[in-house]
Chain A
Amino acid sequence: MRVIRVVGQVLAVLAVFLLLRWLYGNLVTNSQLRGLSLDFGFLGRPTQFQIPYHDEFDPRSPVFAMVLVGVKNTLLAGAFGIALASVLGLIVGVARLSENWLVAQLSSWYVEFFRNIPPLLVIIFFAFAVFLYGPFPNLREAILVGLPWGDGNLLMFSNEEWGVPSLAATGNLAMFSILALVSVVVAIGVWWWRTTVNRDTGAPHHRVLWSLGVLLGLLVVSYVILGGPFEMSWPTPSENRRRIVNGFALNAGFMSVAGALGLYTASHVAEIIRGSIQAVSGGQIEAANALALSSFQRYRFILLPQAMRIALPPYINQCLNLVKNTSLAAAVGYSEITNLTQTSIGNGRPAVPSIVVLMVVYLCFSLVISFILNIVNRRMQLVTR
């Protein structure tokens, strides 16, 4: 019996190995026949095309730089999408349990609608029906929302780009960033110190107040010391009104992807939130009431910790899904990694290694997120027992 098991396994591995070898052999033969390269040398050669909305990108810079731009854009869309999905999902999920019939019905319609339509359709809807052919004028006639005081625009709306205010460096912004980081570390230290004080002496900790106060104080002090390292930058149309200079320009592709994925994933997050709140047993709430906890205390100390333990793993999974779904931006021309890879293959870069690079990038995202998930799971388990 043992022999059969060993032989069977060896045969299985051998079969898979032979299959892969056969596929790879064909790949090499066919590539040689058509004169295609299989090595990764192309990463060092020039990209040879301009990335839309990235004027600072030099087409002569290597493909590797293009991959970095793509990764940055993927993460940017993913981060905004996750923020939107979390906030909206929390609101909708809690609203589904509302005692108000109208609110509960509305959020239930929201969930049933967005859960059952393809995310790609939502992205395309934003890109085509809201932005490109939607109600907004083109950039030349962009709607300008002026500042209530002085010159400049608070916001700019067009069907290609939206302008929002941002911070611009006027002095030593790098130094300020370092100081800001230090302040955050100090604030965390203060948090930890107050927790220790509370644990050892029983004095009220006021962690939030202390930490935020220290953080704000340090930030203000460093801003003054550095003599104002940054100022507000308001969005302005360029001379020929073809671009937005100053401020921060959000292009339609980015808004479509982040907005659509945020709306879509929010429906899934809402279901997770609702399920996890409902999963906390009613006895817990009765116990909290018996202890005469206030409504806030009941949420903060009884309901939330238990619901969170149930909700966090599926929530992190949804975040991973959202990051992977940013690849759908390939359909609307937002320059994230999948779209750039597709363009670069179209521009004659070798397909096979390009796609391998693309898959490795996504595998890295997945690995990082599953690593976080594992840590969360371990910590959650510690909390239970």
Chain B
Amino acid sequence: MTSVESRPPPTLDRRNALAWAAHRLFPNVRSGILTVILIPLLGYLAYRVFLFVAVNGRWEVVERNLTLFMQGTFPRDEQWRIVAQIVLLALAAGIGAGTASASAHDRAIEAGLPFTRSGSLDLIRRFWSVIGFVLILLYFASTTTPWLVAAGTVASFVVGLAARFLPTSWRNVGWALMALALVAGFQVVSGTSGRAWIISAVLVALGLLSVVSFEGLAKGWARLGGRTAVALGASAVVFLIYSNVVDPGVGWDAWSGLHLTLWVSALAIVLSFPLGLMLALARRSSLPALRGLATGYIELIRGVPLITLLFMGQFILVFMLPTGSNLSDISRAIAAMTLFTAAYVAEIVRGGLQSLPTGQTEAGQALGLAPPTTMRKIILPQALRAVIPAMVGQFISLFKDSTLLLIIAINEFLGVRSLVHAQADFRAVAHAETLVFAAFGYWAFSYAMSKESQRLEHRLRVGER
């Protein structure tokens, strides 16, 4: 059936279909027999799939419950918040894409290289799986609202792309605008309920801290002071805006469906990365106590399945906090997923750190850089770049693991099925339909992420040479 060594040469005359078939389908007798057996089998399979998709499938189960799948039991009066969120996030994505494209353009000009701007066709090719999923959602839509939302999203993305025309010295402003739109997108749903505004304030502060540079000030501490002041000011502004302008909003305890899945995964990814980075550095540190603690934590967490940590969050964490403090189910689940993923991220980062030759650290020392600076400027950029594929793989698996929330009775995208099949019409029927629909949703996002990671890996390797 196989042999590595006799793979066909890469140059193939595809114009001649017959020659191609002879070459790739009937290269030898054994392979030819396999093809002859496989073709009718595949034909039958395709026929059955066609019957299921187009004839027998009771897809009204998805059509009638589309809102339930998307936002679950989210209060219907507050639905506008989710719409606003989608539009704001599209704006953020547009600004980000525009700014990134413009800065790539700047760098190409600086280096005297030709620059080809990626078109919208390129975007479709990269995210075709997600776009396909959205089109299927629109197909199932029974009102015009989803169409309007989709149109608004695209429009807002295009508006955001205008950030490309910001002058070069304003590039940081572009990034800051993106961060603001991102935070606003989160906050427009969560409002000030719980302490959600803290997340936004911290994000805005961190964003500005890294964006505003105060190049004019020579002294390091003055620059740091200025940046801290800006960051603190920004978080205060965020608090004022959100406590006065945005209404209480809907805290994430009331979120469910695909909306919850995406946010839980995103939050756990964002939170687990810094924690994992710190754990990796601690495990590599020369201080034995720190190393021991980090190693113990990592090995303990990696030895148990995620579900046990979710159980711990559900049954034990409540009792571990002072009497009277009530953390919601979803907050505890996010905490458990973050703690779990951090251990894996730490191991991945450690792999990247170990892959670097010691000469890199020695070069830093020879330049007279302090150890933290060596780590930040020389080691980490290379180490993190080397582990991007593994890291994205871990994040994909976190996204897939968000389905585990249904075991602790949180209705995320897959868990919503229990509400759908509680309806009298669908009690014992159409289970395959809802599962196939959900599977396609998960597949679309995971596939897009893995392809993006391959693309990133490829591009970064090109940059290396």
Contacts and interface: CB of A to CB of B under 8 A. Distances in A.
A99 B320 contact: no
Interface string B298-334: 0010111101100110011011111100000000000
Contact of B1 (A27, A33, A95, A342): A95
A118 B401 contact: yes
Contacts of B302: 366
Interface string A31-55: 1010010000000000000000000
A327 B323 contact: no
Contacts of A12: 287, 289-290, 293
B429 A359 contact: no
Contacts, number: 180
Contacts of B432: 125, 129, 134
Contacts of B443: 113, 116-117
A366 B304 contact: yes
Interface stretch (B59-67, B206-214, B222-230, B434-442): B434-442
B293 A16 contact: yes
A260 to B, nearest CB: 12
Given A29-B323, A119-B400, A102 B315 contact: no
A367 interface: yes
B431 interface: yes
B322 to A, nearest CB: 6
A121 B441 CA distance: 11
B289 to A, nearest CB: 4
B153 interface: no
B2 A26 contact: no
Interface stretch (B33-41, B120-128, B179-187, B233-241): B33-41
A355 B6 CA distance: 54
Contact of B289 (A13, A101, A115, A295): A13
Contact of B4 (A103, A132, A277): A277
Nearest to A365: B303
Interface residues of B, number: 61
B119 interface: no
Interface of B is mostly: helix
A115 B446 CA distance: 9
Nearest to B321: A26
Nearest to B316: A352
A282 B3 CA distance: 12
Given A124-B435, A125-B439, A303 B4 contact: yes
B341 to A, nearest CB: 14
A120 B403 contact: yes
Contact of B305 (A125, A285, A289, A324): A324
A120 B414 contact: yes
Nearest to B445: A116
B190 to A, nearest CB: 26
Contacts of B401: 118
B2 A328 contact: no
B288 interface: yes
Contact of B404 (A29, A100, A120): A120
A117 B311 contact: no
Nearest to A127: B431
A112 B307 CA distance: 25
Contacts of B6: 99
A102 B316 contact: no
Contact of B320 (A27, A94, A112, A345): A27
A5 interface: yes
Interface in B1-36: 1-8, 24-25, 27, 31, 34-35
Contacts of B414: 118, 120-121, 124
B450 interface: yes
Contacts of B34: 100, 102-103
Contacts of A345: 315
B27 A117 contact: no
Contacts of B38: 102-103, 106
Contacts of B442: 116-118, 121
Contacts of A134: 432
Interface string A325-360: 101101100000010011001000001100100110
B52 to A, nearest CB: 11
A278 interface: yes
Given A16-B293, A100-B35, A102-B42, 18 more contacts: A9-B288, A13-B293, A24-B320, A26-B321, A29-B323, A99-B3, A99-B6, A100-B24, A102-B34, A103-B1, A119-B400, A120-B404, A128-B435, A355-B308, A359-B308, A362-B303, A362-B308, A363-B304
What 9 A-B pairs are tightest by C-beta distance, nearest first?
A101-B24, A366-B303, A116-B446, A9-B289, A351-B315, A129-B432, A118-B400, A324-B305, A30-B319
19 contacts: A12-B287, A12-B293, A16-B293, A29-B323, A97-B7, A99-B27, A103-B34, A116-B396, A118-B401, A118-B414, A120-B403, A121-B442, A132-B431, A134-B432, A324-B304, A331-B406, A338-B305, A355-B308, A355-B311
